[in-house]
Amino acid sequence: MEIQDGKVILSLDELKRLYRYILTHCREICPQIRNPETCILVSKIGILLKSPPPCFEDYGSFTKETFQKLVAEIEKRYSMPIEKFVEKVEKEGPQNLQEHIDLIDGRFAIEVVKAYEKMENSRETSRQHRRQ
């Protein structure tokens, strides 16, 4: 393992070992504690290694579009914007199991979409700086 030009260079074996270690968090701690930006990176590593993380079983994939679709499904189910749904259920408490699941998934979906947008904006800013 070494650092070159601000990037860490790992062997494939080192990456696989690190990924197996990361998956312990996915299996044991998620969804109680999860960070959308880290989850995006974990999903990309899983795709690279052809071994997607456990959340792929729940979501099918871990793309921005997947989470935008999840938001749209929740909005349709409750006939309100996701932010209003989250606010309402946080204030009143979930009325049933589906509302509880949608609250957890809805919050996370919003965070994942924002994380993807932040990453996209960061890449665009980097491209603009390189052109100057």
Reported as a single tens digit per residue, the pLDDT across 57-85 is: 989 999 999 999 999 999 999 999 999 99
Any idea how long the chain is? 132
Query: Residue 31 and residue 108: Cα distance in Å, rounded?
Result: 9
The set of residues, in sequence order, having a beta carbon less than 8 Å from that of 120 and lying 6+ positions away, is: none
Q: What is the pTM of this model?
A: 0.85
Distance CA 85, CA 38 (A): 26
Q: Which of 40, 51, 58, 106 is nearest to 78 (CA)?
A: 106
Q: How far is Cα 63 from Cα 36, in angstroms, rounded to an integer? A: 11
Amino acid occupying residue 72: A
State residue 129's pLDDT score.
Answer: 66
- Domain positions in the chain are 1-62, 63-132
pLDDT of the residue at 54: 93
pLDDT reading at 14 higher than 80: yes
